[in-house]
Each structure stands twice: as structure tokens, then as C-alpha cells.
């Protein structure tokens, strides 16, 4: 039995190990997607492949990563592993999420036995497939989405398995960048191995092993207490994906949440069958979004580990868009459908505890990929990013403007980095005034980001949602403004939110991301808050008068420029 003080010290030490792993991965990563956007996550697992700590990064990674570690250990039981081994995988139907997310799992040996596993997941900007960036909006089966990797040893006894490296690097468009990111993942795990061994040396193997069990038990006890404080009952909510990109519109996702004592069950019966397009979410992704949503309505200080997930039961019928069968296309399920699962589970909780739930955020990751040949040096490139939008309003606070919401927790690619690394230029980057839903607490604003192709022909893919169905408001709040996308090549041509395009040099892509829903009756909003929004350019005078209980005397009618973040030397129309 470990005393409570030692248990707390070891718990925080394990978190520090995961955070240091993640810092190392970001520092040593090659691609802007990892070193700038931080599209990666790290965690520690015990010898039974149960998560004990994590770095607070990407929710969609962290709730799904346990399935990858379990798959790695299932393929390579402890007796088949040696110090210095590391197992790589990305197969969505064998522990993964979608193909660009590569997971690396490294055993931690102490005195000849495995005491833990260090693991990380990183989104690689290209993993092959039919389109540069490997996030194709037109894929219909997983074989088109990239290289599918079952659990294999990428490192053996500390040495790289060059045969596996060759297979991976031969199938991608940017092999040097991929090799660098894979080596960065290995470096991060080795950091975890060293630091965890330090803990074993300091506290002893038996004390550390007992502490790992105690950490999980502690989280489970606190989570059960939080669930028990919720009102018992059955609550349901339904929302839709706009489409799958291949003609299937209004794809319903339904969640029934049953709170019974100190347990909660989430049932997705009634959700659409799996679809042709790439928005199917494998079970690991659905589970990740569900765990996240339950954590949102309980105490955020509960340590996130295997224990806090024990009271949560998930039923996702096979063959549906939240648990598809192979060879379904799934790249967008990890990105778009995970957001909608979050929306519907939180929406169900909003029926019972609205004060604990935020209105819908932008509900999409706005996946943008460009690919082609860089005219500066003749090398192929693949650029990938997701784009922020509005966070939903909540009881007591407005939504946050221009951020990644819920299952995404990355940064936006800085314009300077994007323009240095790729033959692209950011010509406009600003908040979208009037895009946040009105409410006593306003929804956050979406973004406008215009990117121009420079000196070459490029392929472009957009995989987004919430262009037709707006993010919902809560407790009387208005919905946020839907998103939109355009090609600017002399004219402004609206394009589908899930589409592929061949772009001539000089074409500009304009992405306008959704705003968040509002919370509470707009007539209850403080007139001073409305005036501040007008003064900052977040709400226009016309919209303030239309949507809120104010008149012109309440408003400060000074300069309101819409929150534009213009760059020096670039006018609002994108010319230089």
C-alpha cells in the first residue's frame, strides 16, 4: 500500500514524464505540422497497456491511443520484446484512428521485465495514397487513403529496422520529412524510457507498480463520485454531418446517454449506417470523443487515465458511421465525425445539466491540404493543416474566438512558417465578424484564411463540415454562423466543403470557418458587452441592433474593423 503523499508525487511525476516526452517530440520534429502546429500527443502506459498519464494535447489522440497500445502488445506480447524495441502502427481497424496518425510504442524494461510502455502519436503530413497530404475528400475505401501499417517493429534492440523504414519511405511523397518525424517520435519515447527508469530507481519497482494501480483507482473513484452527482435518467440528442462528400446528405448521429448511479452508458443506436465517403469513424475515435465529452461535464481535475474511463460504457453498433467495417474510408472520421460525436454527447448532457455544457463549437477541423512540386527547388511537397473557428458560449463566459475546439487542440500554422516551408502565401487572415451565435454569452468567432498558390500548379483538398447545418446554441442561444469556402481567381466561386481541385498558379483558396453557438437568451446580454463587441469589430452595428436588446444609444459607434489581422504589405484584397 502506497501512502497518499507518495502516490500524489508519483502521479505528478508520471504526468511530467509525458509532458517532457511531448516537448521533445515538438522540438525534434521535422514537419511544421508537428513542430509548429503540435499535432501530436504522448502518454505513459503500465505493463497491462492501461494508460497512467498523458500530456494534455490532442483529445482525439489521447482517448484512442490506448487501443493502439493494446494492439501493439497483442501483436508483440512482452516475451517477444527486448530493450530498444519500438512498435509502429497506424491501421484504423487494428488499434489506429486514421492513416496519417502514426503511433509508436516502446517498452520500458526495468531489471529485465517490462514495467511500462512509452507511446506517442503524431500526424504525418503525408502517408501516401491518392492525394498529397493523405486527407483526400474523395476517397471511398481505406486503400486510397495511404499506407496501412499493422503493428511492426520499427526499431529492434535500439537499431532502426531499415526494411520497415524502406517500406514506409518508398510510399510517401516527402520521405526525408517522414524519416525525421519518425526519428523524433523515437527520441520522445526514449525520453519517457529514461525518466520512467529514474522513477523506478528512486522508489523501487514494487512501490512504483503499486502506485500505478493506485493512480488508476483514485481516478476511477473520483469519476464515479462525479457521475453519481448527476441526475439519473436517459437523455438523447441528435445532430448531423452535412454530407459525406459523395452525395449522402444529412448523415445523422444519435446518442442516448443513460446515467445510472455512478455509471454512464452512451448508446449510438439510431446513427446512420457507414457511408461511401471518408467520414466513417472507427470505434477508437468514437470512444475517444465520448470519453472527452464525459470528462467535460465532470471535474476537469480528475487525472486522465484508464481509471476514469472504467465507469463509462459505449455501445456503437457495427457497420455504422461511428463503428464501420473495413474497407471503409475513415480519414475524415477522426477529424469531422469525432467532432459531431462530441456535439451529440454534450447535447444530451445539456438536457440534464446545461450549466456544465458549452454550446456547440465550430464542429469541424477544416482540413486543408495542398500538394505539388515546389518551383524553388523542384522537390515534391505536401502541406496539411486544420483551421480554428469559434468555441461555443457557456454559462458565465463568451466563447473563444478563432481556436481549435474539442477533439482538436492544435495551433494554426504561422503565416511566416507556411510561406517559408511551402510555395504558398497567406494573403488574408482575420476573424469573421458576426459569425458567433448571439446569446447572453456570445459564441466565439470563426476565421477567414486565404492562401494563394505561388508559381506552380497545385492540387488542393478540403475536408470540412458545418457549411449547411450551423453549430447549435444552448439554453436559448442562437446558432453560430456556418462555414464556407471559395476559390478566388478573378471571380469568387463557392466550392463544396468536401472537394478536390487542381489549381493554376495564382489561385487563392479562401476558407471561412464556422462560429460557435451562443449560450442563453440574447436579450439578457449586458448592453456594455454588446457595445464592447461593436467597438472591437466582433459584431457589426446592424447585427447588434437586430440580435440584441439594445439601441444606438447603448453602443459605442467608434471604428469597428471586424478584428482583421492584416499583415504588413498586404491589402485586404490580397494584393501586394
* C-alpha distances in Å from residue 543, one per residue of 74, 454, 538: 57, 37, 10
Structural domain contains residue 17: yes
C-beta atoms surrounding 27 within 10 Å: 12
447 with 389: CB under 8 angstroms?
yes
The predicted pLDDT at position 575 comes to 37
260 lies in a domain?
no
Which residue, 220, 244, 260, sits at the end of a domain?
220
pLDDT band at 161 (very low <50, low <70, confident <90, very high): very high
**DSSP code, position 521:** -
Residue 299 in domain = no
Residue 57 has pLDDT above 90, yes or no: no
For residue 166, the tally of other CB atoms under 10 A from its CB is 11
In this structure, of 51-60, 154-163, 360-369, 516-525, the range with the lowest mean pLDDT score is 51-60
The DSSP output letter for 563 is T
* Cα radius of gyration (the chain): 24
In a domain, 553, yes or no: yes
Three-state DSSP at 467 gives coil
Find the mean pLDDT for residues 507-534. Answer: 97
Query: Does residue 302 belong to any structural domain of this protein?
Result: no
The pLDDT-based confidence of 359 (bands split at 50, 70, 90) is very high
- Average pLDDT value for the chain: 94
User: Do 389 and 364 form a contact (C-beta atoms < 8 A)?
Assistant: yes
Q: What is the pLDDT of residue 62?
A: 77
The residue whose grid cell reads 500554422 is: 413
Pairing state between β 484-488 and 508-512: antiparallel
Percent of the chain with pLDDT over 70: 97
Q: Residue 486's domain spans which residues? A: 358-576
The pLDDT-based confidence of 561 (bands split at 50, 70, 90) is very low
Asked if pLDDT for residue 101 goes beyond 80, the answer is yes
pLDDT of residue 284: 95
Mean pLDDT of 169-191: 98
In this prediction, residue 59 carries a pLDDT of: 78
Rounded CA separation 118/295 (Å): 23
Does position 564 have pLDDT exceeding 80, yes or no? no
d(CA 146, CA 172): 8
Long-range contacts at 531-535 (CB < 8 A, ≥ 24 apart): 531/555, 531/556, 532/556, 533/442, 534/560, 535/560
The fraction of the chain above a pLDDT of 90, given in percent, is: 91
DSSP 3-state of 61: helix
> At which residue does the C-alpha cell 476573424 appear?
431
Grid coordinates of 60: 482525439
The answer as to whether 18 is a domain residue is: yes
CA distance linking residue 114 with residue 193, whole number of Å: 11
pLDDT attached to residue 532: 95
Distance of CA 176 to the CA centre of its chain: 25
pLDDT of residue 182 exceeding 70, the answer is yes
Residue (of 91, 349, 307) closest to 214 by Cα position: 307
Backbone φ and ψ of 561, nearest 5°: -100, 10
pLDDT at 556: 67
Question: What is the structure's pLDDT at 572?
Answer: 36
CA-wise closest residue to 289 among 372, 222, 361: 361
CB-CB contact of 149 with 134 (8 Å): no
For residue 346, being part of any structural domain is answered with no
Distance CA 238, CA 482 (A): 18
* Euclidean distance between CA atoms 507 and 375, whole angstroms: 15
Among 13-27, 47-61, 287-301, 349-363, where is mean pLDDT lowest? 47-61
Mean pLDDT within 196-210: 97
Query: What is the rounded CA–CA span in Å between residue 532 and residue 17?
Result: 43
* Max CA separation in the chain (angstroms): 76
Q: Report d(CA 463, CA 360) in Å as an integer.
A: 19
d(CA 181, CA 492) in angstroms, rounded, equals 38
Q: Is the model's pLDDT at 349 over the cut of 70?
A: yes
Among 220, 236, 255, the domain-final residue is 220
Q: What is the DSSP string of 106-171?
A: EEEEETTEEEEEEEEEEE-S---SSSTTS--TT--SGGGS-----SEEEEETTEE-HHHHHHHHHT
Residue bearing the bigger pLDDT, 412 or 113: 113
pLDDT above 60 for 387: yes
Q: Please give the Cα distance from 132 to 142 (Å, whole number).
A: 15
pLDDT given for residue 568 in this prediction: 36
Find all residues with CB under 8 Å of 250, minimum gap 6, and list them: 240, 241, 242, 243, 469
Mean pLDDT for 111-132 is 96
For 385, the grid coordinates are: 493543416
C-alpha to C-alpha distance for 281 and 274, rounded to whole angstroms: 9
pLDDT at 543: 96
**Cα(first)–Cα(last) distance of the chain, in Å?**
68
Which of 462, 420, 415 is closest to 574 using CA atoms?
A: 415
Report residue 382 CA to chain centroid gap. Answer: 20
- pLDDT-based confidence at 152, cuts 50/70/90? very high
Distance CA 322, CA 275 (A): 10
Check residue 557 and give its pLDDT.
73
Inform me whether the pLDDT recorded for 282 exceeds 90: yes
Confidence band of 153 (pLDDT split at 50, 70, 90): very high
Closest CA to 512 of 497, 530, 499: 497
Domain boundary among 177, 199, 220: 220
Cβ count within 10 A of residue 302: 18
Of the candidates 566, 538, 363, 539, the one whose C-alpha atom is nearest the C-alpha of residue 449 is 566
Angle at the Cα of 282 (from 276 to 283), degrees rounded to 5? 140
Q: Which candidate, 307, 22, 277, 13, places its Cα nearest to that of 145?
A: 277
Q: Which of 56-60, 250-254, 382-386 has the lowest mean pLDDT?
A: 56-60
CA angle 380, 24, 35 (to 5 degrees): 35
Q: Once rounded to an integer, what is the mean pLDDT over residues 400-423?
A: 93
Q: Structural domain tally of the chain?
A: 2
For 78-92, the pLDDT digits (tens) are: 999 999 999 999 999
Judging by DSSP bridges, how do beta strands 233-243 and 249-260 pair with one another? antiparallel
Tell me, yes or no, whether 165 lies in a domain.
yes
Amino acid at each position: 500500500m502506497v501512502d497518499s503523499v507518495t502516490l500524489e508525487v508519483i502521479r505528478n511525476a508520471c504526468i511530467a514524464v509525458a509532458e517532457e516526452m511531448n516537448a521533445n517530440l515538438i522540438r525534434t520534429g521535422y514537419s511544421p505540422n508537428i513542430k509548429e502546429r503540435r499535432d501530436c500527443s504522448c502518454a505513459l502506459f503500465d505493463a497491462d497497456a492501461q494508460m497512467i498519464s498523458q500530456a494534455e494535447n490532442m483529445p482525439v489522440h489521447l482517448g484512442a491511443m490506448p487501443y493502439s497500445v493494446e494492439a501493439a502488445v497483442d501483436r508483440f506480447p512482452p516475451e517477444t520484446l527486448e530493450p530498444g524495441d519500438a512498435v509502429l502502427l497506424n491501421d484504423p481497424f487494428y488499434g489506429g484512428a486514421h492513416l496519417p496518425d502514426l503511433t509508436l510504442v516502446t517498452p520500458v524494461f526495468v531489471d529485465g521485465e517490462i514495467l511500462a510502455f512509452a507511446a506517442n502519436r503524431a500526424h504525418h503530413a503525408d502517408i501516401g495514397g491518392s492525394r498529397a497530404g493523405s486527407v483526400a475528400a474523395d476517397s471511398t475505401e481505406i486503400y486510397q487513403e495511404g499506407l496501412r501499417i499493422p503493428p511492426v517493429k520499427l526499431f529492434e534492440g535500439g537499431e532502426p529496422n531499415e526494411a520497415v523504414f524502406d517500406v514506409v519511405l518508398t510510399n510517401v511523397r516527402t520521405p526525408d520529412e517522414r524519416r525525421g518525424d519518425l526519428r523524433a517520435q523515437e527520441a520522445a519515447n526514449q525520453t519517457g524510457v529514461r525518466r520512467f527508469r529514474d522513477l523506478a530507481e528512486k522508489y523501487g519497482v514494487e512501490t512504483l507498480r503499486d502506485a500505478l494501480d493506485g493512480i488508476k483507482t483514485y481516478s476511477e473513484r473520483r469519476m464515479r463520485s462525479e457521475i453519481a452527482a448527476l441526475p439519473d435518467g436517459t437523455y438523447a440528442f441528435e445532430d448531423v454531418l452535412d454530407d459525406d462528400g459523395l452525395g449522402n446528405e444529412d448523415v445523422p448521429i444519435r446518442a442516448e446517454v443513460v446515467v445510472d448511479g455512478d455509471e454512464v452508458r452512451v448508446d449510438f443506436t439510431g446513427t446512420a449506417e457507414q457511408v461511401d465517403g471518408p467520414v466513417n469513424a472507427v470505434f477508437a475515435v468514437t470512444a475517444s470523443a465520448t470519453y472527452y465529452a464525459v470528462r467535460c461535464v465532470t471535474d476537469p481535475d480528475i487525472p486522465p487515465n484508464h481509471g476514469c474511463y472504467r465507469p463509462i460504457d459505449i455501445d456503437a453498433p457495427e457497420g455504422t458511421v461511428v463503428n464501420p467495417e473495413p474497407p471503409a474510408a475513415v480519414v475524415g472520421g477522426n477529424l469531422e465525425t469525432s467532432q459531431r460525436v462530441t456535439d451529440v454527447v454534450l447535447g444530451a448532457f445539456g438536457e440534464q445539466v446545461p450549466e456544465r455544457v458549452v454550446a456547440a463549437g465550430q464542429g469541424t477541423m477544416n482540413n486543408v491540404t495542398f500538394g505539388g512540386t515546389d518551383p524553388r527547388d523542384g522537390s515534391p511537397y505536401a502541406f496539411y493543416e486544420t483551421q480554428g473557428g469559434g468555441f461555443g458560449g457557456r454559462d458565465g463566459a463568451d466563447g473563444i474566438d478563432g481556436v481549435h475546439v474539442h477533439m482538436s487542440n492544435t495551433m494554426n500554422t504561422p503565416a511566416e512558417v507556411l510561406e517559408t516551408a511551402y510555395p504558398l502565401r497567406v494573403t488574408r487572415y482575420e476573424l469573421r465578424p458576426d459569425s458567433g451565435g448571439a446569446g447572453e454569452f456570445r459564441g466565439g468567432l470563426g476565421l477567414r484564411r486565404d492562401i494563394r498558390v505561388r508559381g506552380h500548379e497545385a492540387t488542393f483538398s478540403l475536408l470540412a463540415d458545418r457549411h449547411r447545418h450551423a453549430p447549435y446554441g444552448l439554453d436559448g442561444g442562437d446558432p453560430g454562423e456556418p462555414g464556407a469556402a471559395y476559390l478566388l481567381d478573378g471571380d469568387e466561386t463557392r466550392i463544396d466543403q468536401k472537394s478536390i481541385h487542381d489549381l493554376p498558379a495564382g489561385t487563392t483558396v479562401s476558407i471561412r470557418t464556422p462560429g460557435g453557438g451562443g449560450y442563453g437568451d440574447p436579450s439578457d446580454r449586458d448592453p456594455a458587452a454588446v457595445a464592447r463587441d461593436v467597438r472591437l469589430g466582433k459584431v457589426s452595428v446592424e447585427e447588434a441592433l437586430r440580435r440584441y436588446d439594445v439601441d444606438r444609444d447603448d453602443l459605442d459607434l467608434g471604428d469597428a474593423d471586424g478584428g482583421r489581422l492584416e499583415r504588413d504589405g498586404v491589402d485586404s484584397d490580397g494584393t501586394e
